[in-house]
């Protein structure tokens, strides 16, 4: 309280929850080890509030607030490489490394999800002002609420590439999916060159 007619309040909260998700299908293979992901959640909330009494009949309140959410997700296998294809699927975005999404006919899928790393950032700014006016037996309240929301969503799209080993490309592959994997002879491959 600055005075009998002026009060001020401030508040700040921060919550941080880093986590490791070893078997989340959003990260990669949910049946094989080493294809989980590190996920985080950090939220911050801040507010300022000032109440001013102009007279016993007129009270004004101003509130300012901001809240922010940051939620990254990074694959566990960022240091892994693919046999026979060293560096072939490295992106220029930090943490966009690791084993490409790899399917081998008859076996579990290898590699992380094609949309990692990813990050979601949301920020909301808020301004509220209200005026309470008392006149005789009546009370009137006027005010407004303004909010501005910003959202950024980083979503990689096939940045590390995909490989398929089916053994069904005569003259190109051995005819055996697992042997093709060990030889580094994919039936099909793809990568988005514009993905970070």
Q: Name which residue leads in pLDDT, 106 or 145.
A: 145
Helix or strand holding residue 139 (H, E): strand 138-155
Q: Does pTM surpass 0.75?
A: no
Q: State the number of CA atoms in the 13 A half-sphere of 101 facing the CB.
A: 20
Per-residue pLDDT, averaged over 149-159, amounts to 85
Q: How far apart are CA 143 and CA 180, in angstroms?
A: 69
| Reported confidence tier of residue 37, pLDDT bands at 50, 70, 90 | confident
Mean pLDDT of the chain: 84
| pLDDT of the residue at 23 | 76
Which range, of 19-33, 112-126, 155-169, 178-192, averages the lowest pLDDT?
Answer: 19-33
Which range, of 88-92, 101-105, 151-155, 164-168, averages the lowest pLDDT?
Answer: 88-92
For the segment 53-63, what is each residue's pLDDT rounded down to a tens digit? Answer: 999 999 999 99
Q: Is 174 helix (H, G, I), strand (E, B) or coil?
A: coil
| pLDDT of the residue at 101 | 83
| pLDDT of the residue at 22 | 81
Question: Other C-beta atoms within 10 Å of 163: how many?
Answer: 27
58-75 vs 42-55, strand pairing mode: antiparallel
Which range, of 66-70, 126-130, 150-154, averages the lowest pLDDT?
Answer: 150-154
Per the omega criterion (within 30 degrees of 0), is the bond before 183 cis? no
């Amino acid at each position: 309280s600055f005075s009998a007619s002026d009060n001020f309040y401030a508040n700040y909260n921060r919550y941080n929850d880093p986590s490791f998700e070893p078997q989340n299908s959003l990260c990669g293979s949910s049946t094989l080890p080493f294809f989980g992901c590190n996920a985080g959640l950090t939220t911050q909330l801040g507010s300022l509030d000032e109440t001013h009494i102009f007279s016993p009949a007129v009270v004004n309140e101003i509130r300012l607030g901001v809240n922010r959410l940051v939620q990254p997700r990074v694959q566990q296998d960022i240091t892994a490489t693919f046999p026979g294809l060293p560096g072939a699927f490295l992106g220029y975005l930090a943490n966009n490394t690791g084993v490409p999404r790899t399917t081998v006919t008859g076996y579990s899928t290898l590699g992380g999800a094609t949309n990692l790393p990813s990050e979601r950032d949301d920020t909301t700014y808020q301004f509220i002002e209200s005026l309470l006016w008392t006149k005789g037996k009546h009370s009137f309240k006027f005010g407004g609420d303004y909010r501005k929301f910003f959202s950024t969503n980083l979503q990689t799209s096939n940045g590390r590439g995909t490989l398929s080993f089916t053994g069904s490309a005569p003259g190109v592959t051995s005819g055996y999916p697992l042997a093709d994997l060990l030889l580094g002879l994919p039936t099909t491959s793809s990568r988005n060159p514009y993905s970070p």
